[in-house]
Structure 1
Amino acid sequence: MKNWLAGLCCLLLCGVAFASGPGGVRKRVQASMLLTGTIVVAPDGSVRSYAIDRADQVDPAAMNLVNRSIPAWKFEPVLIAGKPVAARAKMSLRVVARPIGDGNYSLAINGTHFGQEVPGQHVTYQNRVPPTYPPQAIKGRVTGTVYLVLRVGRQGQVEDAEAEQVNLAVIASDRDMVQWRNVLAKSALAAARKWTFHTPTSGEYVNAPYWVARVPVAYHLKTLDEPEVDTYGKWQAYVPGPKELVPWIDSKRLLSGSADALPGDGIYQLDRDGLQLLTPPSGA
């Protein structure tokens, strides 16, 4: 895995000029993969069982980490009518490999998300026009993912939107990296403010004044004749962006998972009563 990861990161850096020097750049590049699955939590908050989707396709080093870490997780017990109960949820994990020198990498589960979308109890898309790929980003061959936080009002309109994090798959100077993050974030936010949603029709929060959700927006370049590549369970090089403050929501909602642990282009409502992981994702 060590040689493969080093080659992947070199490929990401190939042909790019950077102001901070090769050493500084190598320290910022990570490799990661997003894994999905399900988990069952016992009434006492311990892990009763779990399953990783397509586990046979996942890099063995990543699976070893997952299988060591998840059984030791501890959750805040889920209560129904004041009594702890077993709970089942979908989960997604962001596994990262960080360079630690001499061509070696340390592996960790960097983020988690747990959620079970119940029909009628969560916001869903009514009209979602894809964002326009910024021409300057196309010219610069810039790709990445913008993680948005949206506040959806009772009429299904976006009342507020923020870019919580922008991860890039390109390296440049610090100044240029900030610029590219802003370019992608501006495009994603412009599109998101025009989206409309179906609001919940049942459940505990049906009468809430608004709903908060995370939405990942991916920007990836490919030629018309380029075949789709299945990257599940494989390492991908990227540069994580800083996590920005979202001033208009309470911190507990943002603690209910990690922005860059969300799969695909779905919408993930941030409920106050979702599964709450109490232990570090990779263990103490």
Structure 2
Amino acid sequence: MALLCLVFCGLASAESISEVRKQAEASMLVTGWVVVGTDGRTQSHVLDKVEKLPPEVVDLIRRASATWRFEPVMLDGKPVVAKAKMSLRVVAKREDNSSNFVVRVAGATFGDPGAEEDSDSVRFKDRRAPKYPELALRARVSGTVFLLARIDRSGKVADVDAEQVNLDVVDTDKGMQTWRRILAEASVRAARQWTYDLPTSGPHANDDSWIVRVPVVFHMVMPNVSESAYYGQWQAYVPGPKEPIPWRSKYPQANDDKGGSTDALADDGIHMVGSGLQLKTPLDHS
């Protein structure tokens, strides 16, 4: 857990250590696959780049996944063995008045079982990254904006809003509200111009519209170092509140989160809300 200490010490300059402990955590996103049996129990799982993950995280996921129970996947009225992608948000938080950390699986997104074909899902067609807001760049503020967007039959964005903004830094309450707003506004402006390829097969091919959750990442990385190089490393994590979406109530599928948590989605991911394996048990029994 030595690296966790470095993460939190880096945050301490923004606030007193006691205040940082109240707000800040460390987290990592772990991706892979899960296989579910006909009874909804986890048969097996595979983690991506397992050699890059801390052993305690690998063991935590092994123990947690053994307790998962999903709604069985049905095909022609019969339960079948199913395989689906998964993305897990693993969080570590310092215990009060202690140097120990509690590590848990805090969120997950599970994909559609068997949806290995691109034609079964909404995919990006033209996605230009937003410009890093100058004010945030100068202040070295980074974070991730999780957008909720509705895609119409033409592949364009009909509605989009920021659902949650996680920061990698700690500031005053007012300061953090400002940084979240700045990153959210930049993300929404860019997202309104994005276009998508639509499902042409699978259970969602004939939907009237599609609700998708998309992360937009504002991270300052070293030159010539890709984001993937940070996979398996603890990152500072200050989760933001889940914001109300004005148009959400008009579309029932937008309120069906059976397949995922708001911020448990890989940086390059896209998740169709209302799809995915449905977990019936808690993510973490530790």
- State the TM-score, normalizing by the size of structure 2: 0.91
Within the candidate set 240, 253, 258, 2:256 is matched to: 253
| Structure 1 residues 190-201: aligned runs within 5 Å | 190-201=189-200
The change in CA–CA distance for 1:191 and 1:117 in structure 2 (over 3 A counts) is farther
Q: Contact (CA 8 Å) 1:149, 1:162: kept in 2 or not?
A: yes
Q: What secondary structure sits across from 1:264 in the alignment?
A: coil
Q: Which runs of 5+ in 2 are unaligned?
A: none
* Distance in 2 (alpha carbons) for counterparts of 1:185 and 1:147: 8
Q: What secondary structure sits across from 2:119 in the alignment?
A: coil
Deviation at 1:168, TM superposition (A): 0.5
The equivalent of 1:103 in structure 2 is 99
The change in CA–CA distance for 1:117 and 1:215 in structure 2 (over 3 A counts) is farther
| Structure 1 residues 123-162: aligned runs within 5 Å | 123-162=122-161
The runs of at least 4 consecutive aligned structure 1 residues that moved more than 3 Å come to 225-229, 248-252
* Distance in 1 (alpha carbons) for counterparts of 2:10 and 2:23: 14
Q: Contact (CA 8 Å) 1:27, 1:99: kept in 2 or not?
A: no
Query: Over the residues paired in the alignment, what is the CA RMSD in angstroms?
Result: 1.8
Q: Is 1:265 equivalent to 2:264 in the alignment? A: no
Q: Is 1:69 equivalent to 2:64 in the alignment? A: yes
1:174-232 Cα distance to aligned partner (Å, 9 max, x none): 01101100100000000001111122222222221101111110001246x46447221
Within the candidate set 274, 279, 282, 1:280 is matched to: 282
Q: Which runs of 5+ in 1 are unaligned?
A: none
The equivalent of 2:120 in structure 1 is 121
Q: What secondary structure sits across from 2:263 in the alignment?
A: helix
Bigger mean CA deviation after superposition, 258-267 or 205-214: 258-267
| Structure 1 residues 237-252: aligned runs within 5 Å | 237-246=236-245, 247-248=248-249, 249-250=251-252, 252=255
Q: Contact (CA 8 Å) 1:13, 1:170: kept in 2 or not?
A: no
The change in CA–CA distance for 1:123 and 1:228 in structure 2 (over 3 A counts) is closer
- State the TM-score, normalizing by the size of structure 1: 0.91
Within the candidate set 29, 46, 63, 2:41 is matched to: 46
The equivalent of 1:233 in structure 2 is 232
* Distance in 1 (alpha carbons) for counterparts of 2:255 and 2:149: 15
Deviation at 1:252, TM superposition (A): 4.7
1:222-260 Cα distance to aligned partner (Å, 9 max, x none): 46x464472212211121111123333436522421122
Deviation at 1:66, TM superposition (A): 0.9
1:121-157 Cα distance to aligned partner (Å, 9 max, x none): 2222222121111111111111000011110000111
Q: Contact (CA 8 Å) 2:11, 2:20: kept in 1 or not?
A: no
Q: Is 1:79 equivalent to 2:74 in the alignment? A: yes
Q: What secondary structure sits across from 1:73 in the alignment?
A: coil
* Distance in 2 (alpha carbons) for counterparts of 1:280 and 1:6: 28
Q: Contact (CA 8 Å) 2:257, 2:274: kept in 1 or not?
A: no
